[in-house]
Structure 1
Amino acid sequence: MIRSLFSGVSSVKSHQVRMDTVANNIANVNTYGFKSSRTTFQDNLNQLLRSGGASVNAAQVGTGTTLSAIGNNMGNGPQQMTGRTLDLAINGQGFFKVQQASPDGGGSVADNSSILYTREGSFYLDKEGYLVNANGYYLLDESNSPQSVGSDLTQIASISIDKNGKITVINNDDSTVEIQLTLAVFNNPEGLERKGSNLFSQTIASGEDMNTGTLPSEMGSEINSGYLEMSNVDLSEEFTNMITTQRGYQAGSRIITVSDTLLEELINLKR
């Protein structure tokens, strides 16, 4: 009965974590570039009651469940048309590389800021002509330098971006500026660490960025200008997970209640 109490507690705790994950997925169903999470369990240590032999199987009793992993689903989300040139969606593998700008701006990055990665492709031009995201992070090129279309924005006539990530800026005097976008790729993108604001950082599990200048088309990807990648959360799947998680939580709570009743009956035998 004591074992069953702890098994029930482990079930309740594990299902609570799964419900937290499901709730976060549903909350971000309309977050651009969001990647859903999935919680998996594994059985806990099994206690040996009787050793096995040549013709007798071992007798073991489980001690509940434990959290196995909370994995990231890095599958592509649907793309929504916006018609805005600097809205970019990646079709295929890869991440945009961004880095926090320093308070002084001017293309310099903040002290001790590391390169981060994102699938959210909503970019803007700051007052100095650098491409930045909604949080003011610079979009980096293949040499990890902030990308700029020029300091005099009043001279820009048009900006276009092709599927290979080449940005072409045409000025009023017919001069052009070309910038090549690059994407970061990882052996294990699911190993990236979430940093909030749709940003990820590399870890030992993810490995380092393997792209040393390969263009998006050369790695089977393309960049769609005028589109944004939506969240890859599947609401029907999440609601199903919510129901099964709720039932699992209720069952774990019931284990605790029934085990307590049995323990109470045992104590009452002494009276």
Structure 2
Amino acid sequence: MQSGYYVATGGMVTQFNRLDVISNNLANLNTNGFKRDDVVIGDYLRLMQEHQDTLPLDNNTRASAKFINRTLNRVPIIAEEYTDQQVGTVQQTSNPLDFALSKPNTFFAIQTPNGIAYTRDGSFSVDNQGFLVTKQGYKVLSSAGYNNGGGILLPPSMQVTADKNGELSFKDITNAGLNEQIGGGNIAVVTFDNTKFLKKQGENLWREDVTKEGIGEAKPTLLTNSGAVEQGFLEKSNVNAVIEMTNMIETNRLVDMYSKVMKTQMDDLNGDAINKLAVRA
């Protein structure tokens, strides 16, 4: 009698969770290097049939799994969450300390208090000690210092230039007669065998998801010739506002539909059943 109510409730919860994802995407519409998230919605029956042989049931039988879950066997749920790694629009800033990555699955390596993290937000600056840092003050690692936390020290009064591989060079701009370029090392750029094992941790940073099975497949690789670094540019978010607003409207309509189904179930069907049972009694 209540199975339809349970299905509608589960569907509504699923759409609420999807709405959270869409809202987060829209909130980061102007966040440099942000990658939009999305969900895959499936039903409980399909997922249960794929894994019911290994369910931790007392009698370990398929019949018991089907019996226990039969009233919930068509409840829509979020089967998977994923991140769209497509490169966002690259915008010119002409700031020599802004860097964009023009290729997907490439990240700047950052030293944080909790270890190495990764980001595509190349809006860097210089701290009081002269090191290249992120907006949060975390050191941008050099290729040579990737394994020991070594940052990039920028000499004062020097013009900074970088090539496509992130190799830095400096030129003294206080002495008009000195045009010699001084090598300054490379910005550490890494790639991963499988980005699905990366997890957003906040502050526009990523980490390897150690809680996820198969984390060993992430395997960060330091690139010496990435060909992806663009100085004086920033990568914008890959969120499309029109698509996200369309998804939000669709989700809100589904929530409204599920709400009407629940109301009909409780007010009309249940009331009708009670009245008929009362008459028969």
Question: Normalized against structure 1, the TM-score is what?
Answer: 0.82
Which runs of structure 1 show a deviation greater than 6 angstroms over 4 or more consecutive aligned residues? none
Q: Which secondary structure does the structure 2 equivalent of 1:115 belong to?
A: strand
Q: 1:212 to 1:81 in 2, by over 3 A?
A: closer
Q: Which amino acid aligns with 1:99?
A: Q
Q: 1:175 to 1:11 in 2, by over 3 A?
A: closer
Counterpart for residue 121 of structure 2: 120
Counterpart for residue 57 of structure 2: none
How far apart in 1 are the matches of 2:181 and 2:19? 56
Q: Which secondary structure does the structure 1 equivalent of 2:87 belong to?
A: coil
Q: Which amino acid aligns with 1:214?
A: T
Question: Normalized against structure 2, the TM-score is what?
Answer: 0.80
How far apart in 2 are the matches of 1:160 and 1:64? 56
- In the alignment, structure 1 residue 71 sits paired with structure 2 residue 82: yes
- In the alignment, structure 1 residue 83 sits paired with structure 2 residue 84: no
Q: Which amino acid aligns with 1:146?
A: G
Of residues 253, 261, 268, the one that matches 1:255 is: 261
* Cα offsets for 1:142-166 (capped at 9, x unmatched): 241333335x52xx33111111211
How far apart in 1 are the matches of 2:188 and 2:108? 7
The structure with the largest helix share of the pair is: 2
Aligned-residue offset at 1:62: 4.1
Q: 1:33 to 1:61 in 2, by over 3 A?
A: closer
How far apart in 1 are the matches of 2:166 and 2:103? 13
Of residues 223, 226, 230, the one that matches 2:236 is: 230
- In the alignment, structure 1 residue 214 sits paired with structure 2 residue 215: no
Q: CA RMSD in A?
A: 2.3
> Could you tell me whether the CA contact under 8 Å between 1:30 and 1:230 is conserved in 2?
yes
Counterpart for residue 12 of structure 1: 12
The 5 A counterparts of 1:15-26 are: 15-26=15-26
* Cα offsets for 1:169-209 (capped at 9, x unmatched): 12356572321123111122133111111101012555344
- Please, which runs of 5 or more residues in structure 2 have no aligned partner? 50-70
> Could you tell me whether the CA contact under 8 Å between 2:195 and 2:218 is conserved in 1?
no
Residue-pair matches, total: 243
Aligned-residue offset at 1:210: 3.4
Q: 1:61 to 1:209 in 2, by over 3 A?
A: closer
How far apart in 1 are the matches of 2:236 and 2:223? 27
- In the alignment, structure 1 residue 133 sits paired with structure 2 residue 145: no
> Could you tell me whether the CA contact under 8 Å between 1:3 and 1:63 is conserved in 2?
no
- In the alignment, structure 1 residue 33 sits paired with structure 2 residue 33: yes
How far apart in 2 are the matches of 1:208 and 1:214? 19
Q: Which amino acid aligns with 1:268?
A: N
